[in-house]
């Protein structure tokens, strides 16, 4: 968005709002006018039947039992208990998510008022119809059947600096990691290869204090140095907990037996540690902390059971002396968190509480901080000074998903209407009223929690304080008691001081030869006939407010007049693509119901009209320009759905040439492959953002089409890209249609501006995601949907205080799908620490990886990929070295000690380093890399988690009688058994891998053929068979498809088939064919890096 729009949106960040003037404003005032529908955000189809009054949770006092610094922490001094109990001018909570097309009853009346006396639980308020139905979408980064991968073996350490000079050097290195107390004993062979499957997970419950060492069997344990906490019933490593019935301990609940130092390999419950007592030499870093330090993880290679050397293939002998079972297991960490945190709701009333992992299924109750579905942080306890932050090198970042879909049982943000006067804000920093503002002087003024400025309470907002200093309407106002809520925006928050019109969707279909021949054009037209009935609409609206328009194009553009009064649609051709204009205004954007017959006729005719086309060339930029001009003419925001097949080489603005060159890989020019080849699209994107024109791109390439350039506008307007290489109707149409349906129906806001405010001492300095920025603070998005994430990095600009902590407030100004201007506010309070140990104890590695991946993926635009990889390794080594130096007890330098909350940092980091963007295999195309780079940049934490460390499920272990998934196993070939069938998913693909020795009966049940050899190569669907195993597998796949924002491509892989190479690419703990290190090797490498930093 251009600077101009800053002026339009000035008020939210500019002047204070005018005082109270009554609720006269038509449609947007405090009281809805009769006949004016109240817009319920996001409930496209299923509006909400009556709303139940939320009640204060009984007796919940979030501040009790908080271990940090021994003092209770509450939201602010006024709030010791929180309970939403809203009355008055509140409107119904908005809904979010993409509900099923035909679910839900309509809302009886537009305006929902909350009874002040109701006592229903807040969680019951949202009807099931608001449930998000995820239309499984898809994408296709990899092409099965493309050239087989190269099989060259690269030295393991190649990517991370000089490789060990020799085997001897590596041995020395590893010997150096030894700690004296334990002797290494060689365990049984590790069972490399398919032959001997390992147990998928380690037995026994997870424990916080384990060392990364020791065999699971008889190995004596290592000493863990942190001091035994004096009162062990309390805090565990990890986030502070309230000792209440409310929030479950986020990551590490009290574990019986914690006092007994738990050592040994992961997952093993150990007896009391003989060496434990008295080994802690001092408490330089923990002294003031009531809680125990996070028990470190230690890696002691020589004490770790290793496969017998003579059992290993020759080239592995020197390296694989560490038992993979003895190093931190992602599966174990995920399972531990599930069993610890999955049963109780996560209540957000406590400052700095680390939420459960994204892989844990948990319910959230908003009691003053935004749900982790909206905001996740790399650390929930941030250093008080920039020196500490620099020393630790832990990035301080928040991953924000402002319109995230909630679980059906969770409460959607309430819509608060302050009438003409708009939301109450701080006079100076313009922060919005929130639970952390302090009311003073009997309630006449409030002090800003972000900048400390004191502001008069507007007369209409005045309320008395109770004896604790809390406003007596505290529970009645979401903005005083909840972490997330919405304000209805006044006209001051609108472009040109005018309330927006409802947005429009324009469908723009490539009708060149390839698109027609593949059946794509016909498929799209057929689908649109029904899909147009499911456009997003707000709760109680009878029909969607969104208008639609249609364009087809090849070298020229065809606009269609589909005005309801016409008997037949009219086509208007614009062949002068150099200066695009829209040849018709009236009749281009129409209401679907009014123009139903004309639209249906058009969609019938399009495939016929172009059936015999010989035109192979396309334009691209003029297509976007046409959509943009149409929205400008209609004075509305909107979304373009562009279905495009080829590199736009026809003579026109934005014309491209094929500049793909894989020889640039690993050269200083590699970055150009990720950069657009012309700045034309950047300028176009800027214009689009200014108009609120979001561009979604569906690509169907048969060859290189320069995703890096074509994606620029999509990326900068907050849109989505989908890619279906070598699109074939039979195999790809389900995936494409599922993606399209979900994309059209999902919750989306337009003309969005997001600003993140912080309390004094830190500020947002860097932003990652699909958006445009015209200044240093405002993130502008022409469109923002429920799947898009913005990652924000923070830096210190002053000291923070442990007492006041740190606050974030994310304010998103946007236009809803019905054209209502709104502000969505998310607040989050964090702790601050003067001890580095507290930082490391409250980190979230999944979020850290999300940030690091985005940081690295942006880095490849400007730096050689190797430089980016080295910087990543270096930063993580510094993070871990700082912990080792400042937080772990003195011990042998040969020991690798990992903070409990970061014990997966090495394995996940290695996955990022090995990803196709940072280390491509030869089979990965330039377009694939550009595509993945863009996708990852908008991913949330759950998506990056499964993308970098895919989920691997043994299907043959699935219980056909239960709904549960089989326990996941680690991503390594040696975990696979020839006699089993596995499923691997990473958010983009689902592989089903079939071992050569799978029982005939299972093959018959799943594939309907009698033997392994009869399963066809390259199968992409499973037959629908009426037996429990087939049903179970298909239901698992359906369930996974529902969980992801894109429909995943299904690829059946037979063991020892050519396609297996593709599958093995995702076994990320193994060495990769493109040279990526195995987990074990990388861990050794990290250890070496850390030791170098410490010496
Ligand atoms: Zn302020």
- The pLDDT of residue 454: 97
Query: In angstroms, what is the span from residue 780 Cα to ligand 1's centroid?
Result: 22
Query: In angstroms, what is the span from residue 433 Cα to ligand 1's centroid?
Result: 10
Query: In angstroms, what is the span from residue 843 Cα to ligand 1's centroid?
Result: 28
Query: In angstroms, what is the span from residue 427 Cα to ligand 1's centroid?
Result: 6
Which pLDDT tens digit goes with each residue over 195-250? 223 333 333 333 333 333 333 333 333 333 333 333 333 333 333 333 333 333 33
* DSSP strands (E only) in 111-196: 138-139
Number of residues assigned to the chain = 1095
Query: In angstroms, what is the span from residue 21 Cα to ligand 1's centroid?
Result: 23
Query: In angstroms, what is the span from residue 809 Cα to ligand 1's centroid?
Result: 11
* Among candidate residues 534, 433, 539, 430, the one with its CA nearest the CA of residue 32: 539
Q: CB of 228 within 8 A of CB of 49?
A: no
Query: In angstroms, what is the span from residue 438 Cα to ligand 1's centroid?
Result: 11
Query: In angstroms, what is the span from residue 431 Cα to ligand 1's centroid?
Result: 5
Query: In angstroms, what is the span from residue 448 Cα to ligand 1's centroid?
Result: 4
Residue 58 pLDDT class (50, 70, 90 cuts): very low
- The pLDDT of residue 892: 74
Rounded mean pLDDT, 265-294: 34
Q: CB of 320 within 8 A of CB of 306?
A: yes
Q: What percent of the chain has pLDDT over 90?
A: 65
Query: In angstroms, what is the span from residue 428 Cα to ligand 1's centroid?
Result: 5
Query: In angstroms, what is the span from residue 956 Cα to ligand 1's centroid?
Result: 58
Query: In angstroms, what is the span from residue 451 Cα to ligand 1's centroid?
Result: 4
Which pLDDT tens digit goes with each residue over 98-127? 333 333 333 333 333 333 333 333 333 233
In angstroms, the CA 25 to CA 658 distance is 55
| Type and span of the H or E element at 11 | helix 10-13
Query: In angstroms, what is the span from residue 835 Cα to ligand 1's centroid?
Result: 28
Q: CB of 241 within 8 A of CB of 253?
A: yes
Query: In angstroms, what is the span from residue 796 Cα to ligand 1's centroid?
Result: 18
Q: Flag whether pLDDT at 95 surpasses 80.
A: no
Q: How confident is the prediction for the chain on average, in pLDDT?
A: 77
In angstroms, the CA 624 to CA 714 distance is 10
In angstroms, the CA 461 to CA 79 distance is 19
- Determine the 3-state secondary structure of 410 from DSSP: coil
Q: Flag whether pLDDT at 783 surpasses 60.
A: yes
Residue 888 pLDDT class (50, 70, 90 cuts): confident
DSSP output for 915-958:
STTTS--TTS-HHHHHHHHHHHHT--HHHHHHHHS-EEEEGGG-
Query: In angstroms, what is the span from residue 765 Cα to ligand 1's centroid?
Result: 18
- The pLDDT of residue 1003: 96
Tell me the C-alpha to C-alpha distance, in Å, between residue 732 and each of 139, 187, 509, 700, 716.
Answer: 10, 48, 18, 10, 27
- The pLDDT of residue 88: 34
- The pLDDT of residue 1017: 84
Query: In angstroms, what is the span from residue 19 Cα to ligand 1's centroid?
Result: 18
Query: In angstroms, what is the span from residue 486 Cα to ligand 1's centroid?
Result: 19
Query: In angstroms, what is the span from residue 755 Cα to ligand 1's centroid?
Result: 14
pTM above 0.85, yes or no: no
- The pLDDT of residue 342: 81
In angstroms, the CA 393 to CA 878 distance is 6
In degrees and rounded to multiples of 5, residue 826 shows phi and psi of -125, 130
Query: In angstroms, what is the span from residue 94 Cα to ligand 1's centroid?
Result: 27
Query: In angstroms, what is the span from residue 390 Cα to ligand 1's centroid?
Result: 27
Residues with Cβ within 8 Å of residue 775, at least 6 apart in sequence:
3, 6
Lowest-confidence segment of 69-83, 646-660, 993-1007 by average pLDDT: 69-83
Query: In angstroms, what is the span from residue 758 Cα to ligand 1's centroid?
Result: 9
Query: In angstroms, what is the span from residue 455 Cα to ligand 1's centroid?
Result: 8
DSSP output for 974-993:
GG--TT-EEEEE-SSEEEEE
Lowest-confidence segment of 100-104, 334-338, 736-740, 1002-1006 by average pLDDT: 100-104
Query: In angstroms, what is the span from residue 761 Cα to ligand 1's centroid?
Result: 13
Query: In angstroms, what is the span from residue 437 Cα to ligand 1's centroid?
Result: 9
Query: In angstroms, what is the span from residue 289 Cα to ligand 1's centroid?
Result: 32
**HSE-up of 460 (CA within 13 Å, CB side)?**
18
- The pLDDT of residue 115: 32
Lowest-confidence segment of 95-104, 345-354, 908-917, 953-962 by average pLDDT: 95-104
Rg (CA), the chain: 29
Query: In angstroms, what is the span from residue 762 Cα to ligand 1's centroid?
Result: 14
Q: Flag whether pLDDT at 156 surpasses 50.
A: no
Residues with Cβ within 8 Å of residue 1014, at least 6 apart in sequence:
1007
- The pLDDT of residue 308: 38
- The pLDDT of residue 226: 35
Which pLDDT tens digit goes with each residue over 828-852? 999 999 999 999 999 999 999 999 9
Q: Which alpha helices (DSSP H) does 393-485 contain, by range?
A: 478-481
Query: In angstroms, what is the span from residue 67 Cα to ligand 1's centroid?
Result: 29
Query: In angstroms, what is the span from residue 378 Cα to ligand 1's centroid?
Result: 25
Residues with Cβ within 8 Å of residue 72, at least 6 apart in sequence:
63, 64, 65, 66
Residue 321 pLDDT class (50, 70, 90 cuts): low
Query: In angstroms, what is the span from residue 800 Cα to ligand 1's centroid?
Result: 16
Q: Flag whether pLDDT at 805 surpasses 80.
A: yes
In angstroms, the CA 279 to CA 283 distance is 11
- The pLDDT of residue 216: 34
Which pLDDT tens digit goes with each residue over 173-198? 333 333 222 233 333 333 222 222 33
Which pLDDT tens digit goes with each residue over 945-967? 999 999 999 999 999 888 889 99
Q: What percent of the chain has pLDDT over 70?
A: 71
**HSE-up of 340 (CA within 13 Å, CB side)?**
26
- Residue 815: strand pairing partners: 750, 821
Which pLDDT tens digit goes with each residue over 528-555? 999 999 999 887 788 899 999 999 999 9
Query: In angstroms, what is the span from residue 571 Cα to ligand 1's centroid?
Result: 55
**HSE-up of 1088 (CA within 13 Å, CB side)?**
19
Rounded mean pLDDT, 327-337: 96
Q: Flag whether pLDDT at 150 surpasses 60.
A: no
Which pLDDT tens digit goes with each residue over 436-451? 999 999 999 999 999 9
Rounded mean pLDDT, 586-590: 96
- Determine the 3-state secondary structure of 83 from DSSP: coil
Rounded mean pLDDT, 741-750: 95
Query: In angstroms, what is the span from residue 445 Cα to ligand 1's centroid?
Result: 13
Hey, how many other C-beta atoms are within 10 angstroms of the C-beta on 575? 9
Query: In angstroms, what is the span from residue 592 Cα to ligand 1's centroid?
Result: 46
Query: In angstroms, what is the span from residue 242 Cα to ligand 1's centroid?
Result: 29
Query: In angstroms, what is the span from residue 366 Cα to ligand 1's centroid?
Result: 23
- Determine the 3-state secondary structure of 765 from DSSP: strand
Query: In angstroms, what is the span from residue 482 Cα to ligand 1's centroid?
Result: 19
Tell me the C-alpha to C-alpha distance, in Å, between residue 532 and each of 96, 525, 562, 599, 607.
Answer: 19, 11, 14, 10, 18
Query: In angstroms, what is the span from residue 763 Cα to ligand 1's centroid?
Result: 13
- Residue 838: strand pairing partners: none
Query: In angstroms, what is the span from residue 397 Cα to ligand 1's centroid?
Result: 22
Query: In angstroms, what is the span from residue 430 Cα to ligand 1's centroid?
Result: 6
Q: Which alpha helices (DSSP H) does 693-812 contain, by range?
A: 707-716, 729-745
In angstroms, the CA 797 to CA 935 distance is 32
Residue 33 pLDDT class (50, 70, 90 cuts): very low
Better pLDDT: 87 or 676: 676
> Burial of 342 by CB count in 10 Å (0-12 exposed, 13-18 middle, 19+ buried)?
middle
Query: In angstroms, what is the span from residue 440 Cα to ligand 1's centroid?
Result: 15
- The pLDDT of residue 266: 32
Residue 1004 pLDDT class (50, 70, 90 cuts): very high
In angstroms, the CA 853 to CA 940 distance is 11
* DSSP strands (E only) in 431-522: 438-440, 445-447, 454-456, 484-488, 504-510
- The pLDDT of residue 542: 84
In angstroms, the CA 973 to CA 193 distance is 6
**HSE-up of 239 (CA within 13 Å, CB side)?**
31
Query: In angstroms, what is the span from residue 806 Cα to ligand 1's centroid?
Result: 14
Query: In angstroms, what is the span from residue 449 Cα to ligand 1's centroid?
Result: 7
In degrees and rounded to multiples of 5, residue 659 shows phi and psi of -120, 20
Query: In angstroms, what is the span from residue 811 Cα to ligand 1's centroid?
Result: 14
């Amino acid at each position: 968005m251009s600077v101009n729009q800053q002026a339009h949106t000035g008020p939210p960040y500019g002047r204070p709002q005018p005082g109270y003037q009554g609720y006269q404003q038509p449609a947007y005032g405090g009281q809805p006018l009769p006949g004016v529908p109240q817009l319920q955000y996001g409930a496209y189809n299923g509006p909400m039947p009556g709303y139940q009054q939320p009640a204060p949770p009984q007796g919940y006092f979030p501040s009790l039992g908080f271990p940090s610094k021994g003092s209770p922490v509450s939201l602010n001094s006024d709030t010791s208990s929180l309970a939403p109990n809203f009355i008055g001018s509140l409107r119904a909570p908005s809904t979010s998510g993409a509900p099923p097309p035909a679910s839900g009853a309509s809302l009886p009346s537009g305006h929902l008022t909350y009874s002040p006396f109701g006592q229903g639980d807040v969680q019951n308020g949202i009807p099931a119809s608001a449930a998000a139905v995820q239309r499984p979408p898809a994408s296709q980064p990899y092409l099965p059947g493309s050239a087989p991968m190269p099989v060259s073996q690269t030295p393991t350490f190649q990517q991370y600096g000089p490789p060990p000079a020799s085997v001897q050097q590596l041995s020395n290195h590893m010997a150096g990691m030894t700690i004296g107390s334990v002797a290494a004993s060689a365990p049984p062979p590790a069972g490399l290869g398919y032959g001997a499957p390992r147990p998928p997970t380690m037995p026994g419950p997870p424990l916080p204090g384990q060392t990364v060492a020791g065999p699971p069997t008889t190995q004596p344990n290592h000493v863990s140095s942190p001091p035994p906490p004096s009162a062990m019933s309390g805090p565990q490593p990890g986030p502070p907990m309230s000792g209440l019935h409310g929030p479950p301990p986020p990551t590490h609940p009290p574990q019986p037996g914690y006092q007994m130092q738990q050592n040994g390999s992961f997952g093993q419950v150990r007896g009391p540690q003989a060496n434990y007592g008295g080994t802690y030499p001092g408490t330089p870093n923990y002294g003031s902390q009531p809680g125990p330090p996070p028990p470190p993880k230690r890696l002691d290679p020589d004490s770790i059971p290793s496969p017998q050397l003579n059992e290993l293939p020759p080239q592995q002998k020197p390296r694989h002396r560490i038992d993979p079972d003895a190093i931190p297991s992602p599966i174990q960490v995920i399972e531990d968190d599930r069993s610890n945190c999955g049963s109780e709701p996560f209540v957000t009333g406590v400052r700095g509480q680390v939420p459960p992992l994204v892989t844990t299924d948990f319910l959230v109750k908003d009691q003053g901080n935004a749900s982790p579905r909206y905001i996740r942080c790399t650390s929930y306890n941030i250093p008080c000074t920039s020196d500490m932050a620099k020393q630790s090198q832990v990035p301080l970042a928040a991953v924000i998903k402002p319109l995230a879909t909630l679980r059906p049982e969770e409460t959607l943000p309430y819509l608060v209407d302050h009438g003409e006067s708009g939301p109450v804000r701080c006079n100076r920093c313009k922060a919005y009223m929130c639970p952390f503002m302090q009311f003073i002087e009997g309630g006449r003024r409030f002090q800003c929690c972000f900048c400390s400025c004191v502001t008069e309470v507007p007369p209409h907002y005045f309320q008395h304080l109770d004896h604790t200093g809390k406003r007596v309407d505290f529970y009645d106002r979401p903005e005083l008691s909840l972490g997330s809520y919405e304000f209805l925006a006044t006209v001051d928050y609108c472009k040109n001081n005018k309330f927006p019109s409802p947005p429009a969707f324009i469908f723009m279909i490539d009708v060149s030869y390839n698109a027609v021949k593949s059946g794509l054009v016909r498929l799209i037209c057929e689908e649109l006939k029904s899909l147009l009935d499911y456009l997003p609409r707000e709760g109680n609206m009878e029909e969607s407010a969104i208008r639609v328009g249609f364009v087809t194009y090849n070298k020229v553009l065809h606009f269609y007049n589909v005005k309801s009064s016409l008997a037949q649609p009219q086509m208007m051709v614009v062949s002068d693509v150099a200066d695009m204009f829209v040849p018709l205004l009236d009749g281009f954007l129409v209401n679907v119901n009014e123009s139903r017959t004309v639209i249906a006729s058009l969609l019938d005719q399009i495939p016929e009209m172009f059936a015999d086309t010989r035109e192979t060339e396309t334009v691209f930029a003029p297509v976007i320009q046409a959509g943009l001009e149409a929205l400008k003419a209609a004075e509305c925001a909107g979304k373009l759905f562009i279905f495009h097949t080829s590199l736009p080489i026809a003579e026109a603005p934005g014309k491209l040439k094929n500049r793909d060159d894989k020889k640039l890989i690993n050269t200083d020019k590699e970055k150009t492959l990720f950069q657009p080849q012309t700045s034309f699209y950047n300028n176009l994107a800027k214009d689009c953002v200014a108009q609120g024109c979001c561009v979604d791109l569906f690509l169907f390439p048969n060859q290189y089409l320069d995703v890096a350039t074509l994606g620029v506008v999509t990326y900068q307007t907050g849109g989505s890209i989908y890619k279906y290489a070598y699109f074939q109707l039979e195999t790809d149409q389900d995936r494409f249609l599922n993606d399209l349906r979900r994309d059209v129906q999902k919750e989306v806001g337009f003309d969005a501006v997001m600003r993140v405010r912080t309390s004094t001492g830190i500020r947002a300095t860097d932003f990652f995601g699909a958006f445009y920025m015209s200044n240093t603070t405002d993130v502008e998005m022409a469109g923002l949907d429920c799947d898009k994430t913005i990652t924000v990095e923070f830096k210190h600009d002053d000291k923070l205080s442990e007492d006041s902590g740190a606050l974030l407030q994310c304010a998103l100004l946007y236009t809803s799908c019905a054209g209502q201007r709104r502000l969505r506010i998310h607040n989050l309070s964090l702790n601050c620490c003067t001890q580095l140990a507290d930082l490391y104890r409250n980190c979230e590695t999944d979020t850290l990886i999300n940030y690091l991946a985005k940081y690295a993926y942006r880095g490849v635009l400007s730096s050689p990929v190797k430089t980016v990889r080295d910087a990543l390794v270096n930063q993580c080594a510094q993070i871990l070295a700082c912990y080792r130096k400042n937080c772990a007890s003195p011990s042998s330098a040969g020991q690798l000690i990992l903070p409990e909350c970061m014990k997966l940092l090495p394995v996940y980091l290695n996955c990022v380093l090995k990803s196709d963007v940072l280390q491509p295999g030869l089979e990965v195309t330039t377009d694939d890399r550009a595509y993945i780079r863009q996708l990852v940049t908008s991913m949330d934490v759950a998506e990056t988690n499964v993308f970098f460390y895919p989920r691997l499920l043994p299907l043959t272990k699935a219980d056909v009688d239960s709904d549960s998934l089989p326990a996941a196993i680690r991503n390594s070939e040696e975990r696979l058994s020839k006699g089993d069938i596995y499923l691997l998913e990473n958010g983009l693909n689902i592989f089903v891998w079939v071992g050569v020795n799978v029982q005939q009966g299972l093959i018959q049940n799943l594939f309907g053929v009698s033997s392994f050899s009869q399963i066809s190569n390259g199968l992409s669907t499973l037959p629908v068979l009426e037996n429990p195993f087939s049903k179970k597998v298909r239901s698992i796949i359906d369930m996974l498809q529902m969980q992801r924002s894109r429909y995943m491509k299904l690829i059946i892989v037979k063991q020892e088939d050519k396609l297996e190479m593709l599958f093995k690419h995702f076994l990320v703990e193994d060495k990769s064919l493109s040279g990526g290190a195995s987990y074990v090797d990388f861990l050794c490498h990290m250890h070496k890096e850390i030791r170098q930093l410490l010496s």
